[in-house]
Amino acid sequence: MNVKPKKHLGQHFLTDKNIAQKIAQTLKQNTYDTILEIGPGMGVMTAFLLKTFDKDIFVIEIDRESVTYLQKQFPELKGKIIEADFLKIDLQSLFQGKQIAVIGNFPYNISTQIVFKVLAHKDMVPEFAGMFQKEVSERITAPPGNKTYGILSVLVQTYYDTEYLFTVNEQVFNPPPKVKSGVIRLTRKEKFPDIDYDYFKKLVKTAFNQRRKTLRNSLKSYNLSDNLKQARIFAKRPEQLSPAEFVKLAQMIKNDL
């Protein structure tokens, strides 16, 4: 039995076992006992996760046909195949606050939403690895000053160390996507900055909404005091600030209000 890739779910099944093994083996830490694979499809990477790691392995899959296939192919996953939408599940209640590594060949159409969900649960996710559209992988790992550096780069790099590992060509998928893919690994930092995440996220988004303007102009809605606006940092554009400088900026504004 083969599973037919479904366009509306953004499915592109990885067919190259060597690449599947390589991605599975990007997980390297031992600060967790549980691995969650998102969108296993026909389980090409799942097989290597089961073979490589002596850990609790769960998979989450929204496609009923794939779930049926996985249940038949991987009896060892009994009770660990979650038929649901990753974006809608309650990770806290599902894993009871355990530390989990998240991995997958992520559907392109929801990949940035997956990243934002992981960020919202960063206390639970010490490691996050897998395959994205190459452009998204580059955005996540981009340094300040790079044209692809933006909201995703700042938020992810504030809480995780990022590594772009390798590029994957279109031909190793069924059906082949129109773009290349990039495999990355995110390793959670030991210490988080002392700033509320939701407040920080809103500030970074506001700054990049007008990325060509200086922060003095793009952050006008924060009603900054004249004294604060004179600080040198406000003469910069958002793409010129490192994640650490964004944290400093957020703390300055918080203290000003």
130/39 Cα distance (integer angstroms)? 11
**Is the pLDDT score of 171 beyond 90?**
no
Report, as an integer, the average pLDDT of 39-60.
Answer: 94
**Is the pLDDT score of 5 beyond 60?**
no
Of 31, 18, 15, nearest in space to 189 by CA: 31
**Is the pLDDT score of 244 beyond 80?**
yes
Confidence tier at 4 by pLDDT (50, 70, 90): low
Q: Which residue has the higher pLDDT, 11 or 197?
A: 197
Confidence tier at 148 by pLDDT (50, 70, 90): very high
For residue 242, the number of C-alpha atoms closer than 13 Å in the C-beta half-sphere is 2
Topology of the domain covering 7-188: Rossmann fold (3.40.50)
> pLDDT above 70 covers what percent of the chain?
95
| The pLDDT of residue 129 | 97
75/52 Cα distance (integer angstroms)? 17
pTM of the full structure:
0.93
Confidence tier at 37 by pLDDT (50, 70, 90): very high
Confidence tier at 1 by pLDDT (50, 70, 90): low
67/98 Cα distance (integer angstroms)? 24
Angle between helices 197-209 and 111-120 (to 10 degrees): 140
Q: What is the DSSP string of 58-121?
A: EEEE--HHHHHHHHHH-GGGTT-EEES-TTTS-HHHHHTT--EEEEEE--GGGHHHHHHHHHHT
Q: Where in the chain are all domains bearing CATH 3.40.50.150?
A: 7-188
Single-letter code of the amino acid located at 238: P
Of 2, 14, 109, nearest in space to 65 by CA: 2
CB-CB contact of 101 with 27 (8 Å): yes
Confidence tier at 27 by pLDDT (50, 70, 90): very high
74/58 Cα distance (integer angstroms)? 11
Confidence tier at 25 by pLDDT (50, 70, 90): very high
173/202 Cα distance (integer angstroms)? 36
Q: Where in the chain are all domains bearing CATH 1.10.8.100?
A: 197-256
**Is the pLDDT score of 223 beyond 80?**
yes
**CA angle at residue 209 from 208 to 212, to 5 degrees?**
70
Phi first, then psi, for residue 132 (nearest 5°) are -125, 170
Pick 197-256's CATH classification: 1.10.10.10, 3.40.50.620, 3.20.20.100, 1.10.8.100.
Answer: 1.10.8.100
Report, as an integer, the average pLDDT of 72-77.
Answer: 96
Average per-residue pLDDT in the chain? 92
204/218 Cα distance (integer angstroms)? 10
pLDDT, tens digit (0-9, with 9 covering 90-100), for 88-126 = 999 999 999 899 999 999 988 899 999 999 999 999 999
- The distance in angstroms from the start CA to the end CA of the chain is 61
